[in-house]
């Protein structure tokens, strides 16, 4: 199994879509990017910790490639919104791809470039992965547990 990390606004909606993608074996919502170790949701929600709401995607590379995950990531949120996602505004809701190695970085840059060539203006950051801190248990599988669907995310076929 491999792991990939994505931030696209509220992590509940991102998790909702990724866990339905063939080849994804597990998702965990949490935080990445800040300086505080093991931040709480309450701390991150203030927008002062430097963390972004992030999803850890465990996947089987025999079933789905990293590039396919990146493409899907761009199809499940408004990657052109620079200040958050939907009504969730703030630094903790920014769009980012967190790469673990140069191959992942180069893949993210490639897909980003394709979107630019298609006329899009991605606001997504491409950043080196940092320590990932899982959110509290009650955030995991949040929308499915409540039998709800995302408010700030929608799937839009691009590729």
Beta strand 24-32 with 52-59 is: antiparallel
> Considering the chain, what is the average pLDDT of its residues?
95
pLDDT tier, 148 (very low <50, low <70, confident <90, very high otherwise): confident
End-to-end CA separation in angstroms for the chain: 25
- Give the CATH number of domain 2-145: 3.30.1060.10
Q: How far is residue 159 from each of residues 39, 115, 133, measured CA to CA in Å?
A: 36, 9, 31
Q: How much is the pTM? A: 0.95
Unique residue bearing structure tokens 């991605």? 122
Q: Could you say which of 8, 10, 55, 57 is catalytic?
A: 10
Each residue's pLDDT tens digit, 50-71 = 999 999 999 999 999 999 999 9
pLDDT tier, 135 (very low <50, low <70, confident <90, very high otherwise): very high
Q: Where are the beta strands (DSSP E) in 60-111?
A: 84-85, 88-89, 95-99
DSSP 8-state class, residue 140: T
Stated as kind and residue range, the H or E segment containing 113 is helix 102-117
Q: Is 152 a catalytic residue?
A: no
What pLDDT is stored for residue 60 in this prediction?
Answer: 98
What pLDDT is stored for residue 149 in this prediction?
Answer: 86
Residue spans of the domains in the chain: they are: 2-145
């Amino acid at each position: 199994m491999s792991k990939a990390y994505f931030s696209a606004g509220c992590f509940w909606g991102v998790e909702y879509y990724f866990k339905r993608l063939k080849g994804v074996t597990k998702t965990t919502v949490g935080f990445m990017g800040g300086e505080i170790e093991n931040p709480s949701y309450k701390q991150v929600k203030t927008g002062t910790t430097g963390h972004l709401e992030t999803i850890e995607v465990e996947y089987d590379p025999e079933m789905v490639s990293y590039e396919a995950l990146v493409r899907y990531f761009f199809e499940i949120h408004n990657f052109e919104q620079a200040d958050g996602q939907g009504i969730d505004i703030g630094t903790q809701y920014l769009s980012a791809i967190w790469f673990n190695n140069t191959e992942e970085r180069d893949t993210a840059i490639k897909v980003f470039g394709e979107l630019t060539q298609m006329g899009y203006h991605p606001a997504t950051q491409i950043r080196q992965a940092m320590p990932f801190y899982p959110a509290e248990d009650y955030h995991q599988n949040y929308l499915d547990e409540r039998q709800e669907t995302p408010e700030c995310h929608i799937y839009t076929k691009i590729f």
